[in-house]
Amino acid sequence: MKAEIITIGTELLLGQIIDSNSQWIGQRLAEIGVNLYYKATVGDNKERVLDTLKNSINRSDIIITTGGLGPTQDDLTRECIGEALGLELIKDEELLMDIRDYFDKMGHEMADNNIKQAYLPEGAVAIDNPEGTAPGILINQDGKVIVAMPGVPIEMKAMMIETVLPYLKKKFSKGEVIKSRVIKTCGIGESSLEELITDILTEQTNPTIAPLASQGEVKLRLTAKANSEEEADRLINLKEAKLQERIGEYIYGYDDDNLEGVVAKLLWDQKLTIATAESCTGGLIGDRLTSIAGSSAYFERGIISYSNQAKMDLLKVKKSTLEKYGAVSSQTAKEMAKGVRNLSKTDIGLSTTGIAGPGGESLEKPVGLVYMAIADKDGVESYRYQFNGSRERVKYMTSQMILNLLRKRLLAKS
Amino acid sequence: MKAEIITIGTELLLGQIIDSNSQWIGQRLAEIGVNLYYKATVGDNKERVLDTLKNSINRSDIIITTGGLGPTQDDLTRECIGEALGLELIKDEELLMDIRDYFDKMGHEMADNNIKQAYLPEGAVAIDNPEGTAPGILINQDGKVIVAMPGVPIEMKAMMIETVLPYLKKKFSKGEVIKSRVIKTCGIGESSLEELITDILTEQTNPTIAPLASQGEVKLRLTAKANSEEEADRLINLKEAKLQERIGEYIYGYDDDNLEGVVAKLLWDQKLTIATAESCTGGLIGDRLTSIAGSSAYFERGIISYSNQAKMDLLKVKKSTLEKYGAVSSQTAKEMAKGVRNLSKTDIGLSTTGIAGPGGESLEKPVGLVYMAIADKDGVESYRYQFNGSRERVKYMTSQMILNLLRKRLLAKS
């Protein structure tokens, strides 16, 4: 069966609020195995609400709306649903009493406007609203289910959890479970990653595999359908094993993992301490490494050696190195990493130096050129990267790459 | 004219990511007076993308899509637009060269998959993508405008700002000018700010005033409609003068200004240099101060003095101070700020020390307690704040407050 969500409200179109309702409903539907095919948003305009509803009822089996159930003139959902389905609105006296009770309980008098909320399309069932006045609407007509809920998230969520999800599960679920796992990779672009696993992507059926690129990483989402949680896990594990074999070196984590968290765990497990010497990243790596609760166990200090003077004073980068090779060079990166490790007496020293742009480039050293280095008890290694994009992007990509290089080095030594 | 947005991607339907793109685009369209009538979201499925596109093209004048322009098999937007409009896809050799150049510059080889991104529907114009490989698509057919952009927010936003919004403004504006100015405040909460200007908010008609709170700041968006730019500016200036009188001390900037940029300008203008000593913020302030192009003119260095050893070694915080008052204290914050100023020989030294949480609190020192200090030639001043919320929030709020305190100090001395 096909489901869709319609969120109603001009404020959503103007971008005054973000549509978190449909995200939340989408997650819940996925969990009970209901396929969401479309989402639509429309303003508080009768013609367009009606047009959208008719289109949805025509093509889908489950239609869930939020918004437009309040007592004011621009709350149109109730009458549009009635009109779209050819159902008359009928006053429900019991419902009216409930609404009156709600106001009494709050010590307010019910406004006449609220009477409107006691009207339901013929044959509809009211959905109890434990958090507010506007009841929801549930209609089952010719095998199609139409659900209307208020736009206030706390009211909508209570209705979904207490009434709508149990109803849909009972009616549409065929004992089916849907589970997802997100595999996170770093150090390879989306298209190169896909080329490595073209055959696995092509043969995908269950679980399905969806690649998704974001800044500095590519995710693969595996989604399996099965008759039990165990079976879904088994299907995902099988597919993941195949992927591990092919692209294991790029996989750094799962689901809510981030690179700094994975690096933090490796440092904890290996009881290692770290210090950073940042030039072009300006403190971003320190910020990321200290974003993990308990980071003082591994993060000793960081030097943001922006000026050459700071590089010489604190990190003991040689003046001759800066003069001969420049601040943005493999040699300087290495001396910075060694320098901060010596200064801090940590197990690991890490450095970045580059041209974040937009200014500051030369013929041999374009914007986006970055050198990084990692020093440990076995010596120091440097890395050269050329990034493009904005200053912000160059900084972020640098932090992402050096954290990934560190992750691989820690893994290799564990 | 009627506009609509289609966001494409199964991850949006599953609720794995929130659709912030359509919110942002909705805000920008409202600013230039384009009426957004519908938003739709559809998964990576050819039949449904095509169905949605056809429906939109049929009823609207401007259709803006995001997502589905990548190089992979499930990126379908390009071919669906072609099919919906009856336009053949043609390889654009120049575009292919641009994409190759992009990879060359990064030092990678272009994957064959990426060739797909050089195809455009007949008669379409490529929209330059300064932040990635996938170019956007702009089509003007029979008075209708179809725009397709990638789903990666940074890429989409760059295209909107540089190409799409200027194009739509020129093509669809009818002599009526809508202008907005965002006034940005820091150091006061949303409800307190609103109380100070209740009467101004109540009497608003043209320009309208919309308050909007985000982390560590409150914005006021003034939007005026008029027959000319000059008239719109005049109306906004009048209203702003009223607001300045009432809440001027909290206003730090306008529109795209951010606190670090405003502070950077003050430092430049006054030819001052700065160094930072960060404990709880872990490098975030350095990161923000170096996010401005040309920051090496004022930012000399930063010390992320996470351990007490680092505070003593580099910043000359006295052992007795740490023992008597603790690392999170006004005394330590002051010694850190003075210490980093002496070490770096800068005009200004700035420090933060606090308990970012979630662990590390004691009876007298709860999570969220932060001390900060600013040292300059006239001495050193410390500040105490108590924030609440997550570790990330405490770090960010700390950076926001100290930058605002520095801004006010620089203004007072200019």
User: Torsion angle, CA of A100/A104/A106/A108, rounded to 10 degrees?
Assistant: 90
Residues 161 through 190 of chain A touching chain B, CB cutoff 8 Å: 180, 182, 189-190
Residue A380 has pLDDT above 80, yes or no: yes
Residues in chain B: 414
Residue B53 has pLDDT above 90, yes or no: yes
Would you state the pLDDT for residue A402? Answer: 98
- Amino acid letter at A203? E
Question: Considering CB atoms only, which of B37, B294, B391 is closest to A359?
Answer: B294
- Measured between alpha carbons, how far is A259 from A404 in angstroms, rounded to an integer? 7
Which residue ranges make up each domain of chain B? 2-172, 177-254, 259-413
Q: Is the peptide bond before B358 cis (omega within 30 degrees of 0)?
A: yes
Report the pLDDT averaged over residues A233-247: 96
Write the pLDDT tens digit of every residue in B291-346: 999 999 999 999 999 999 999 999 999 999 999 999 999 999 999 999 999 999 99
Report the pLDDT averaged over residues B187-199: 86
CATH 3.40.50.300 fits domain A2-172: no
Do the chains contact at B22 and A27, CB–CB below 8 Å?
Answer: no
Write the pLDDT tens digit of every residue in B308-321: 999 999 999 999 99
Strand A348-354 to A274-278 pairing: parallel
Which residues face B139 on adjacent strands?
Answer: B146
Do the chains contact at B287 and A289, CB–CB below 8 Å?
Answer: no
- Measured between alpha carbons, how far is B228 from B212 in angstroms, rounded to an integer? 27
CB B92 within 8 A of CB B126: yes
Interface test with B, best of A5, A37, A347, A369 (most B CBs within 10 A): A37
Closest CA to A211 of A172, A238, A235, A182: A182
Topology of the domain covering B177-254? Alpha-Beta Plaits (3.30.70)
Write the pLDDT tens digit of every residue in B65-116: 999 998 887 889 999 999 999 999 999 998 899 888 888 887 788 888 888 8
Residues 20 through 49 of chain B touching chain A, CB cutoff 8 Å: 20, 22-28, 30, 36-45, 48
Write the pLDDT tens digit of every residue in A402-413: 999 999 999 998
- Measured between alpha carbons, how far is A322 from A279 in angstroms, rounded to an integer? 13
- A–B CB contacts, 8 A cutoff, strictly below: 279
Would you state the pLDDT for residue B176? Answer: 74
Would you state the pLDDT for residue B371? Answer: 98
Residue A72 has pLDDT above 80, yes or no: no
Question: Considering CB atoms only, which of A19, A300, A304 is closest to B306?
Answer: A300
A-chain residues within 8 Å CB-CB of B368? none
Cβ-in-10-Å burial (0-12, 13-18, 19+) of A70 comes to buried
CB A99 within 8 A of CB A59: no
Touching check for B219 and chain A: CB below 8 Å? no
Write the pLDDT tens digit of every residue in B359-378: 888 888 999 999 999 999 99
Question: Considering CB atoms only, which of A13, A51, A302 is closest to B283?
Answer: A302
Do the chains contact at B359 and A300, CB–CB below 8 Å?
Answer: no
SS3 label, residue B330: helix
What does residue A283 show for φ and ψ, rounded to 5 degrees? 115, -10
Would you state the pLDDT for residue A238? Answer: 95
How far CA B290 is from CA of A7, A13, B155, B260, B351, in Å, comes to: 41, 36, 22, 9, 16
Which residues face B208 on adjacent strands?
Answer: B223
- pLDDT, greater one: B364 or A291: A291
How far CA B17 is from CA of A236, B153, B372, in Å, comes to: 21, 12, 36
Report the pLDDT averaged over residues A224-251: 94
What is the share, in percent, of chain A residues with pLDDT greater than 90?
Answer: 73
Rg of chain B, C-alpha, whole Å: 26
Would you state the pLDDT for residue B105? Answer: 81
- Amino acid letter at B181? R
Touching check for A261 and chain B: CB below 8 Å? no
A-chain residues within 8 Å CB-CB of B359? 293-294
**Helix extents (H) in A71-214:** 77-85, 93-106, 153-159, 165-172, 190-196, 198-202
B-chain residues within 8 Å CB-CB of A45? 37
Give the CATH class of B259-413. Answer: alpha beta
Closest CA to A341 of A382, A302, A307, A304: A302
